């Protein structure tokens, strides 16, 4: 079979799918059947891998390995996970006899996970296959109809991916592509959708939420990060250098969970150690303290790296923020930064900033570029505070002895923490992904992400003739209900026995 980029749905297909708030034939299928069809998409993705790699190539991504490793493989892994595990996640939950309140005698309930209806996915340019593909797959497996708006510049690769969904059996009127303009997203929200899923910047998220508020439309916001790599004492130096280099340069630095801050403990010089040993406070001026050896190794490694191309949408902001930091005293340890070149061509060598002024925007700005700020701190507690008080809290990494690093990780108020690695583990299809603070809310991926594409519906059925609440009230009802309350929730045997006596007396009076 020859793979061709998908065409836009024709006018008849669009007209046939305008009423998304009624159950579609797709939604009426069983979750097992929907998950099975969604799972088949991975076969089509694998078949058209060469086409997708070709369409994904752009100025920011010129390495085919990155497309296969960061997009196609994790996307297919997620599709396979949905096929295997999706039906179990989406199955109904029965609520029967166990722990049933006494006044609910004869009532049994089920909790169903039902589709929300019409899901609008606002795609991103940095990972148009993996992120948008998994979000669409989970929305479809849950029984929703999907409108997918690609980011500008990602139209062709998004069409090729959607074509693979259609060939696998997803109806064309259930998965549709919008044009990539902002107006198409605005119109879709105004016309009425039941969930918005955005992957983008915090600024874009705020604009979308303002419009969504007018319609009381729920949303999942997967926004940017200013992620920290916390390097503890006794961390594996080589692992630190290789991991930060990978995370900083992967996808030309356009990774939302790439490292933007390297936080490490002050390493005192011999003179300062002597001062500390006789009861003096160790100075906190980084110029008077030795830096850990991994910093020089990282700088040399990054100095030898090729420049990357910063996306046009990010160039001015990246150049402005880094230029401002340097003007205020920060030092580019690599020494290759050229703000004018970044603005004009997007070409940028990695930047490692030292002596960044406290509170500067470069420490709290979501930049899709290979820039890293070195942040010495006095203690692990200080490092935790720095991470937890940053507005952006998408993810973090902790490097050090496993037990200690995991203990620190458990204290970080972020969406995902990776110990002794960066970026890669978040591609596990079993794991939810989402941020906190200005990095958004809600999750995609994993069981939690699949359930987020649904809403619960409860159906309760009463059998038998016993329905005390339907009987006319009498004087003993308050005594009867109080006895039920105390019998179920009193502390000791004596109190419960007294409640039982009170209950039986009230029941005798009522009869």
Report pLDDT for 22.
Answer: 55
- 289: confidence class by pLDDT, cuts 50, 70, 90: low
pLDDT confidence of residue 11? 36
For the stretch 20-54, what's the b/e string if a residue is b when 16 or more beta carbons lie within 10 angstroms of its beta carbon?
A: beeebebbeeebeebbbbbbbbbebbeebbebbbe
| Digit-coded pLDDT (tens) for 373-409 | 999 999 999 999 999 999 999 999 999 999 999 999 9
Q: What is the mean pLDDT of the chain?
A: 89
Looking at the chain, the whole-number percentage of residues with pLDDT higher than 90 is 74
10 has pLDDT over 50:
no
Q: Three-state DSSP class for 115?
A: strand
Closest CA to 449 of 430, 426, 477: 430
Q: What is the pTM of this model?
A: 0.88
**Maximum average pLDDT range among 19-28, 358-367, 434-443, 465-474:** 434-443
Rounded CA separation 416/398 (Å): 11
State residue 29's pLDDT score: 96
3-state secondary structure of 19: coil
Query: Could you give the CA distance from residue 498 to residue 105 in angstroms, rounded to a whole number?
Result: 23
Asked if residue 237 has pLDDT above 50, the reply is yes
């Amino acid at each position: 079979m020859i793979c061709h980029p998908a065409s836009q749905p024709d006018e008849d297909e669009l007209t046939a799918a305008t009423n998304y708030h009624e159950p579609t034939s797709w939604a009426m299928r069983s979750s097992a059947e929907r998950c099975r069809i969604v799972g088949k998409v991975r076969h089509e993705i694998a078949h058209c891998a060469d086409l997708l790699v070709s369409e994904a190539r752009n100025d920011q991504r010129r390495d085919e390995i990155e497309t296969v490793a960061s997009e196609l493989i994790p996307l297919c892994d997620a599709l396979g996970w949905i096929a295997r595990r999706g039906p179990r996640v989406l199955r109904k939950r029965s609520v029967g006899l166990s722990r049933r309140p006494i006044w609910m005698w004869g009532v049994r309930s089920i909790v169903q996970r039902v589709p929300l209806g019409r899901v609008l996915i606002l795609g991103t340019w940095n990972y148009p296959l993996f992120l948008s593909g998994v979000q669409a797959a989970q929305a479809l497996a849950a029984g929703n109809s999907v409108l997918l708006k690609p980011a500008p510049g990602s139209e062709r690769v998004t069409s090729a991916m959607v074509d693979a969904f259609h060939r696998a059996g997803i109806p064309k009127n259930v998965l549709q592509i919008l044009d990539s303009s902002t107006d198409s997203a605005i119109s879709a929200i105004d016309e009425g959708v039941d969930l918005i899923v955005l992957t983008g910047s915090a600024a874009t998220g705020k604009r979308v939420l303002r419009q969504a508020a007018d319609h009381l439309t729920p949303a999942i916001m997967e926004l940017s990060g200013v992620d920290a790599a916390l390097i503890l004492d006794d961390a594996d130096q080589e692992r630190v250098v290789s991991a930060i280099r990978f995370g900083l340069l992967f996808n030309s630095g356009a990774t939302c969970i790439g490292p933007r801050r390297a936080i490490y403990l002050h390493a005192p010089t011999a003179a300062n150690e002597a001062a500390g040993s006789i009861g003096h406070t160790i100075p906190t001026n980084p110029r008077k303290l030795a830096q850990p050896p991994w910093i020089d190794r990282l700088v040399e490694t990054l100095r030898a790296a090729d420049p990357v191309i910063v996306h046009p949408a990010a160039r001015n902001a990246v150049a402005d923020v880094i230029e401002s930091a340097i003007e205020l005293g920060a030092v580019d340890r690599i020494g290759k930064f050229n703000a004018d070149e970044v603005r004009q061509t997007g070409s940028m060598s990695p930047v490692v900033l030292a002596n960044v002024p406290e509170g500067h925007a470069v420490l709290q700005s979501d930049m899709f570029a290979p820039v890293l700020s070195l942040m010495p701190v006095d203690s692990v507690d200080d490092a935790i505070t720095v991470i937890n008080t940053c507005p952006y809290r998408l993810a973090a990494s902790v490097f050090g002895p496993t037990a200690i690093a995991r203990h620190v990780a458990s204290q970080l108020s972020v969406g995902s923490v990776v110990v002794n690695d960066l970026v890669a583990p978040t591609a596990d299809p079993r794991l939810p992904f989402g941020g906190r603070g200005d990095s958004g809310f809600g999750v995609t991926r994993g069981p939690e992400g699949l359930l987020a594409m649904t809403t619960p519906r409860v159906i309760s059925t009463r059998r038998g003739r016993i329905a005390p609440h339907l009987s006319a009230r009498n004087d003993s009802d308050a005594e009867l209900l109080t006895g039920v309350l105390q019998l179920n929730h009193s502390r000791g045997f004596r109190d419960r026995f007294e409640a039982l006596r009170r209950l039986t007396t009230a029941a005798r009076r009522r009869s």
